[in-house]
Structure 1
Amino acid sequence: MRPTASQLLGKTSVRGNRWNRATAALMLSLCLGFPPSVAMCPPYCLCASDIISCSGRNLSVLPSDLPSYATRLDLSHNALTALPVDWTSRPFDWLATLVLSRNSISQIEVNAFTMTPYLIHLDISSNQLTVLNSSIFSGLKELKELLLFGNQISKIRPGAFSDLYSLKRLYLSGNRLNAFPLGLYWEPGGPLNLTFLDLSNNMLSKVPVQSLLSLPMQGRIYLQGNPLVCDCALLALVEYWMWKQYHPLIVFRGEYPCRDNSGPECSQQVVSDKPVEEQIYQVHPGKWLSVPCPGLTFPTQEVFWVTPKTVLNSSTDDPSARLIVSPNGTLEIQEALMEDSGVYVCVAARGRHFGPHESPEVNVVVGNQSTASTSGLRHRNGAEHFNTAFTTLASCVVSIILVLLYLYLTPCRCQENRGRGSRGCGGRAFVLCADPREVESGQRQSNGKRVAFLEPQLEDSDIDGPKTTAIHLGHVTTEGILKNGSRTVGQTLTDATLMV
């Protein structure tokens, strides 16, 4: 039988009125809702609410008696050498941040993070990792930020980043990588939303230019501080990124090669003197179309075409392909289809920077220019046209209803106060009614009522005293009348039947 709170409170020590420390700790853990077995803080750690810090304690073995209710666990600045699969005996269902930086970790076993499935931030920087094995981060499906900079990583095995579906920021700078980790983007189970990749200060000599051109530009890739070889492909990429104002290149421009026209001479007289302007090419379906690379007059060693679907290279030779790049950099579209319409970009080493009004883009239209577009563009324009037409129609209907309500349902109250001045007509609006004698006799004029917007004049505060004329109707023209059946513009209101 479990003791009740009153029984626990009733227990005292031999001195009569002081609680036992174990009883006090038990009561505190019960009040906080934590089991007694996981609520104790190790004596070599500092626990503050849900934050546990065991940093700088010279620990060589991971503590196994850590409270599992922590949301942040800091084990940095210790002497840890490995992260085994059984480093903890209980799952950390609340742990969001795990800091293991500034240790000597050289090995992480597979499934070592199965006890921390809800990690969002993992810091393993400044350790001694050399290889990232397959499934080393398995189970971390909610991880968004992974810090691995400052290690000695020279190889990343396939599947090392599997299960990292939510990863957005990956820091791999300051390692020994000599190959670009393309598996991050195309391996199954890898990061699908990676928007930040830091590969600076590694040992990369070449980068896959064609693959980098196919990646979305909103994903930032930092390559500064690598011994990159400045060839025509890299020069073309650097010029293209400069034209796109790619943030990693703009910020660290001085740490990239191929700068300040110091690149190789890819060809003679490559650049045209004419400004590079965006052009439009039109072709009928089923026909062939040749699109020259803007700004190139002679062949160059490396030309890339970024099409709406893929990236083509002049060095690849595929006779079965329908879109090819000839050796002189011209794009050949064979048997053009409607879905070939779109914007094409020619990426080549021109040895120059683009002006503010220059563009290496061309617009290809298959079919009639007024109707040909990609399927997505057609759907989007159709939806926009429908929304615009519907909004215009709704606005017109509402406007007509409001005008009719105002003109035909506004009460005419001037005749009710005919003998008592103009108070019955309101402050700023004067309702001009038909002749009262005709109203009494049941005869209403066909032209209805008329409304004029006039500025009111001050009335005498004495109710029984003589009233001054509120508005001189002799100076009012029909330009201020919203509805008047037969009067012409500029005619004054002098008819006695229009006066109140």
Structure 2
Amino acid sequence: MIMYYYVMSLLLGIATLSHAKQCNNTIKTTNCKTFGTRCECSDLDCFPNRNPCDPSTTDMVFLGSLFDTIQKDTFADYGDITFLGISGSVGGIERESFKGLSNLLMLRINAFSISASKRSWSTDVDKYIAHLTGLIGLRAIEGGALSNPSMTSLDLSFNQIKNMNEDIFNGLDNMKEIGLAGNAIEKLDERIFKRVPLLEKLYLTNNVISHMVFMTNTSDGALKHLKFLDLFGNELTTFPSLILETASTNFNIDIRENPLICDCNMVDLLQRLGSEQQIIGLDPACHNPVEKCSPPKIASTSQEFQVPQGESFLLQLEIQGSPHPFVSIMGPDGELRVGTYNINTNEVLVVIYIEHESDFGVYTCTAKNSHGSTTFNISVKAVIHDRNTTTAENKKPHSTNGTVKHTLSILLIIAISLLRYISV
């Protein structure tokens, strides 16, 4: 079986010698084969600008090619395609590349997938063959590049994705399941769940995620539809227990094969589990954590900021407490502000934009865990510019001291010149 996969990988590797672009002419139909409603194309040097298969095709698959860039509206004339699989190396994806696929339900982009023509998720065998062929799939994705409101499933497993910024899932309002297994993801931006409010399943197997701490998103109900979170084979040492408060009642997590320690989070998780919630990989013998559990504390270098309207400032908070507290920051307008929470340094960083009058006022920071909660108020006031003062400051470079220094410099140059003349 392995030899079969090896031979297949070599054959497909030979087919990946040219960069793909959007075709201007009709391609050879021998490159595409139709199996009922599914069509597979390989050994192409460009993307066909029209569906090269039977009009009744619903599953479209491109196998083993080096795609330089998937261009905007590449699939605008692909009719009723509901499944699109692209396997190979993809240099980049332009915005609105999949906009024309108005009936698309599932998109799969990865290095290589023997299951590319199926609706099942990618497997470890795919990763093995991708390694043999040397294909790397995607390295990064810009926000909005995957935008398609009809899509409900997205499989980006076995690529080389490292960073997941907050805009990566823009335009995926109806997304229900996402596969990101076998990438190189180190952490998740807490804000990505805002973009997929209906998400039910998230597969993050075999990445290098070291922590999962959410700020305001959980208290805002962004995870209320999530039913399954797969974190098998990552680098988690701890897991935030308060995630169970806002998750669905039948929320299941797989955290096996992680270097978890018996800390306050694990003890709290064991105590908080609902009757229908399940966490695979917890140590039921964990009762005496290695640390002392404590209620939250918030500290800041300043409790008052003066900011000109139209500018921004960085709010930096130090958070203490075990288990790791959840943090929310409410503005004077009643809206939540979102930032990043680094549990390694116990810092919360939030950029506050002062665009309107309503942005001035008191910002309330709240931190809570299973042992208590606390608040911390920060006042933001407007800077009133004094025109006279500003004018005076602008004239400083032309002050008397500056003129004297300039005159002395000129005299010094003249003196040096005279000395050189005399010595000659």
Using structure 2 for the length normalisation, give the TM-score: 0.48
Q: Which has the higher contact order (CA 8 A, sep 6+)?
A: 2
Task: Please identify the structure whose Cα radius of gyration is greater.
Answer: 1
